[in-house]
Amino acid sequence: EPEVTQTPSHQVTQMGQEVILRCVPISNHLYFYWYRQILGQKVEFLVSFYNNEISEKSEIFDDQFSVERPDGSNFTLKIRSTKLEDSAMYFCASSEGDGTYEQYFGPGTRLTVT
Amino acid sequence: AQTVTQSQPEMSVQEAETVTLSCTYDTSESDYYLFWYKQPPSRQMILVIRQEAYKQQNATENRFSVNFQKAAKSFSLKISDSQLGDAAMYFCAYRSGYETSGSRLTFGEGTQLTVNP
């Protein structure tokens, strides 16, 4: 069964450094998402992406975040200058369509900012 | 803005027994979808069941069923004949049915379910 994959599974970085989290969505999916979960808190929506542009973003998704689909398979989340509070689990998801379509989640990348 | 609340941080159940996980939500919308996701230790979130708000009939998927009370804004998950593999964190989630509201999922805090042999 096709699944969403994410790399790396764990990333450790120093404050102020740039990180890129990678996701490979399911191949025929058109909508892509990033969520994050700070330890002990709710899973929070960051951004959705469709047709090579951001379709929706939350208040968390400020100028230090960016997303890109650099080729036909990868979907990336870049954090330009990491802060301690960016430490979280980051989940990528994809769906075949909008509306009623199910979002399929990847296993997540644990980001630790020191 | 919509909110989702799961008031049970932890629940436990004996194998083969039935357990109910609670979820309430707040919204002013009339068209929406509700979901239960399971997150086992492997961390990958898996959709367990979903309910369309316009449907009066409660959704069922094998041993999983929901009790959807639209007026009360309640959406509980019942797991029958619990199995060891059901042990996981369970998240309740909301999604608007309006195109203009986007397709983001709003999650509750999660309920950690332990299944005792």
Q: What is the pLDDT along chain A (114 residues), one digit of tens a residue?
A: 789 999 999 999 999 999 999 999 999 999 999 999 999 889 999 999 999 999 999 999 999 999 999 887 899 999 999 999 999 999 999 999 877 788 999 999 999 999
Are A77 and A61 within 8 A, CB to CB?
A: no
What CATH number is associated with residue B70? 2.60.40.10
The mean pLDDT value for B43-64 works out to 93
Range of the domain at B87: 3-116
Chain A residues in contact with B5 by the CB 8 A cut-off are none
Interface A:B, Cβ pairs < 8 A: 53
Amino acid code (one letter) for B26 = D
User: What whole-number distance in Å separates Cα of residue A60 and Cα of residue A100?
Assistant: 25
**Closest CA–CA distance from residue A114 to any residue of chain B (Å):** 23
Domain regions of chain A by residue span: 17-95
User: What whole-number distance in Å separates Cα of residue A44 and Cα of residue A8?
Assistant: 20
Write the class of the CATH domain A17-95. Answer: mainly beta
- Smallest CA-to-CA distance from B33 within A77, A95, A5, A3 is with A95
- Smallest CA-to-CA distance from A79 within A10, A13, A20 is with A20
Cα separation values, B84 from B20, B81, B90, Å: 16, 10, 14
Total count of domains within chain B? 1
The mean pLDDT value for B82-94 works out to 96
Of A41, A45, A89, the CB nearest to B104: A45
Residue B115 pairs with which residues in a beta bridge? B13
The mean pLDDT value for B31-45 works out to 89
- Chain centroid, CA B85 distance in Å: 17
Predicted local distance difference test score (pLDDT) of residue B90? 97
Predicted local distance difference test score (pLDDT) of residue B25? 97
- DSSP string across B28-41: S-SSEEEEEEEE-T
Predicted local distance difference test score (pLDDT) of residue A97? 85
Of B46, B105, B108, the CB nearest to A45: B105
Of A42, A55, A106, the CB nearest to B109: A42
**Closest CA–CA distance from residue B39 to any residue of chain A (Å):** 9
For chain A, list the strands marked E by DSSP. 5-7, 10-13, 19-24, 31-37, 43-50, 53-57, 65-68, 75-79, 88-95, 104-105, 109-113
The token duo for B40 is 């086992």
Amino acid code (one letter) for B19 = V
What is the rounded average pLDDT for all residues in chain B? 94
